[in-house]
Amino acid sequence: MINIKENEKLSVLNHSCAHLLAHAVKKLYPHSLFWVGPVINEGFYYDIDLGDDVLNEEDLLKIENKMKDISKENIVIEKLVLSKEEALSMFKDDPYKIDLINNMEDGVITAYKQGSFIDLCRGPHVENTGILKYFKLLKTSGAYFKGDSKNKMLQRIYGICFDSEEALKEHMDFLEEAKKRDHKRLGKELDLFMFSDYGSGFPFWLPNGMILRRELENFWYEEHTKEGYEFIKTPIMLSKDLWEISGHWMNYKDNMYISNIDEKEYAIKPMNCPGGMLVYKNSLHSYKDFPIRVGELGLVHRHEASGALNGLFRVRTFTQDDAHIFMTESQIEDEVVRLISFVDRIYKVFNLEYSVELSTRPLEKYIGSIEIWDKAEKALASACKKAGKDYKINEGDGAFYGPKLDFHIMDSLGREWQCGTIQLDMNMPERFDLTYIDSDGSKKRPVMLHRVIFGAVERFVGILIEHYAGIFPLWLSPIQVNIIPVNNKYHLEYCNDLKNILLENNIRVKLDDRDEKLGYKMRESQTKKVSYTLIVGDKELNSGTISYREHNSEETINLSINDFVLLIKKEIYEKK
């Protein structure tokens, strides 16, 4: 999937197309006013005040056609250089532009003019509207002015522009495929999860989704046990005093759910880390204990804006696959190398490729000395090299308390998702006064790593649904085998025997004994994306065998019951 912002040519095209969109809207809706129209990774958008008019899909098509008309006029796009006073005068009837201008520093301001339409912009732009030929308006949504829910709701129109008809078609085909894989749609079709108006942003896990989630979590525990992790569970609600020590009360309070218990303020945890610090402080530690690896699948809550909620990708409660690793400074590099190898092993199971990004010290608002930061960044970079992993520098994007490695996975459609993180923390050990006894008997601060691999279980499930298009590998599949008798009167008893044999071998099986036609039940088995469908008739009954079809296959294969069980168990074990 292409990133428009990272492609200079496409970035200019899309920004120019945002102005073309605004020009067309102004012609069709003369009363319209415009806020901002930036380029984003997926194209561009424009936030527009249309008064009482509310756009629908037909309106988007009308706007798109007007854009094509303006494009055909080949209108020259001119750059205007203005003083602040000239800009204020030019846009005196537009409160949104006046707000923008008043928040600009004194000096030169630029605008771009195409025919009757003028808009503030830094540029650059294409030379004329005729260059903008291959575009598509994608959708519309609401967006608060300045992103503040206290302000007026504007209408946001999204679009995208390419430099050739082939590129646009390829992208639209990609969007169509992505739509088919939408985890919200598949989640409903496959009975994985649901949402309710009684709790916006709080997912309900249905039986099939619980199976998928349980398998994922069991896998997480098994792999972490191999890596020498111990596991904890910390309380979901803790006192305000703790969040003041951690710094969350000062920096994150607006995103926390707060309650009063015994006339004292408490908060539901938005992060697991402070609880992990208390567990560490529960006992004395020696340098001989290190590294200490402590994992927690911890449920957290964050008050996300309602407009940002998006299926499982952005929820208000989710489970972080957290781990906190405590060590000496000399152990950082080896531990990070081991972690990178661990992350690599996990992602390979899901056939997910990934890239690594090293985020370095912010220019402002960081704690610790530059010398310590340099040493920490060097340790992370060196660990990447030792692990044989290339990485990209993300300058100045580290947290205020330490640098980090971010793992961007790539799904089967080529989309990137930031999931795993290895974060070196120089803040929490100090805030919580964490210590260990060194070889000389003195007390010292441990070095600490935060890390996640899935990131959030809920979001990772959403990614996997779209990555696999709902056709999960057998070990994750909620229903691994579906048994369909040809005729209940003659074949149901044998089917029940088959079901019991599979259940005894820990194979997830469903018996479809509904009074429906065979073709209907087989089609539904395909729709529900069941891995193996068994069709049981006279031949199977008389020979004591089974006949199966794999999902999306027309081939029917006959096997002994024992051979089929071995086939299934081998595929589950190998996590193909």
pLDDT at position 273 = 92
Q: Is residue 353 part of a domain?
A: yes
For residues 435-446, average pLDDT: 95
Return all residues near 294 (Cβ < 8 A) that are at least 6 apart.
229, 230, 231, 232, 276, 279, 280, 323, 324, 325, 326
pLDDT at position 276 = 95
- Is residue 27 part of the annotated active site? The answer reads no
Q: Residue 475's Cα: distance from chain center in Å?
A: 23
Cβ(274)–Cβ(263) under 8 Å?
no
pLDDT in tens, 104-159: 877 789 999 999 999 999 889 999 999 999 999 999 988 888 888 788 999 999 99
Which of the following is catalytic: 119, 322, 406, 425?
A: 322
The DSSP 8-state label assigned to residue 52 in this structure reads: T
pLDDT at 556 over 70: yes
Q: Is residue 99 part of a domain?
A: yes
At residue 133, φ and ψ (nearest 5 deg) are -110, -35
Taking all residues of the chain, what is their mean pLDDT, rounded to a whole number? 93
Q: Is residue 404 part of a domain?
A: yes
Q: Is residue 190 part of a domain?
A: no
**CA atoms of 275 and 299, how far apart (whole Å):** 12
Same structural domain, 8 and 39:
yes
Span of 138-152, 306-320, 445-459, 508-522 with lowest mean pLDDT: 138-152
At residue 265, φ and ψ (nearest 5 deg) are -80, 135
- Is residue 93 part of the annotated active site? The answer reads no
**CA atoms of 306 and 182, how far apart (whole Å):** 20
The domain spanning residue 228 has which CATH number? 3.30.930.10
Same structural domain, 447 and 548:
no
Number of structural domains, the chain? 3
274 to 56, 297, 299, 383, 425: CA distances (angstroms): 47, 14, 13, 27, 13
Which of the following is catalytic: 248, 314, 324, 361?
A: 324
- Is residue 273 part of the annotated active site? The answer reads yes
- Is residue 302 part of the annotated active site? The answer reads yes
**Greater confidence, 427 or 420?**
420
**CA atoms of 381 and 248, how far apart (whole Å):** 29
Of the residues 414, 433, 466, the one at which a domain ends: 466
Q: Name the most confidently modeled range: 44-48, 97-101, 361-365, 368-372.
A: 44-48
Q: Is residue 24 part of a domain?
A: yes
Same structural domain, 273 and 401:
yes
- Is residue 320 part of the annotated active site? The answer reads yes
Same structural domain, 431 and 552:
no
- Is residue 322 part of the annotated active site? The answer reads yes
506 to 11, 95, 190, 403, 477: CA distances (angstroms): 53, 66, 21, 44, 13
pLDDT at position 400 = 75
Same structural domain, 462 and 495:
no
Q: Is 576 exposed, middle or buried (0-12, 13-18, 19+ CB in 10 A)?
A: exposed
Q: Residue 349's Cα: distance from chain center in Å?
A: 19
**CA atoms of 242 and 233, how far apart (whole Å):** 17
pLDDT at position 374 = 86
Q: Is residue 156 part of a domain?
A: yes
Which of the following is catalytic: 23, 97, 450, 510?
A: 450
Percent share of the chain, pLDDT over 70: 100
Q: How many CA atoms does the CB half-sphere of 220 hold within 13 Å?
A: 23
pLDDT at 1 over 70: no
Q: Is residue 440 part of a domain?
A: yes
Same structural domain, 14 and 107:
yes
Residues spanned by the domain of 19: 4-176
69 to 44, 61, 196, 386, 505: CA distances (angstroms): 20, 13, 44, 57, 66
Which of the following is catalytic: 302, 491, 528, 551?
A: 302
For residues 437-451, average pLDDT: 94
Which of the following is catalytic: 224, 404, 508, 521?
A: 404
For residues 171-176, average pLDDT: 92
Same structural domain, 228 and 328:
yes
pLDDT at position 368 = 73
Cβ(87)–Cβ(80) under 8 Å?
no
Same structural domain, 172 and 228:
no
pLDDT at position 107 = 75
Which of the following is catalytic: 121, 273, 419, 495?
A: 273
Same structural domain, 570 and 508:
yes
The domain spanning residue 548 has which CATH number? 3.40.50.800
pLDDT at position 243 = 92
Q: Is residue 472 part of a domain?
A: no
**CA atoms of 418 and 407, how far apart (whole Å):** 6
Cβ(426)–Cβ(403) under 8 Å?
no
Same structural domain, 452 and 522:
no
Same structural domain, 421 and 525:
no
Token pair, residue 510, equals: 């469903």
> What does DSSP say about strands 317-327 and 353-359: parallel, antiparallel, or unpaired?
unpaired
Q: How many CB atoms lie within 10 A of CB 549?
A: 20
- Is residue 408 part of the annotated active site? The answer reads no
Cβ(113)–Cβ(78) under 8 Å?
yes
**CA atoms of 181 and 190, how far apart (whole Å):** 12
Of the residues 407, 433, 466, the one at which a domain ends: 466
Which of the following is catalytic: 161, 248, 316, 320?
A: 320
Of the residues 442, 466, 490, the one at which a domain ends: 466
pLDDT at position 457 = 97
pLDDT at position 395 = 87
pTM over 0.85: yes
pLDDT in tens, 481-514: 999 999 999 999 999 999 999 999 999 999 999 9
The domain spanning residue 69 has which CATH number? 3.30.980.10
Same structural domain, 68 and 137:
yes
Evaluated on CA atoms 257, 239, 294, 574, the torsion sign reads negative
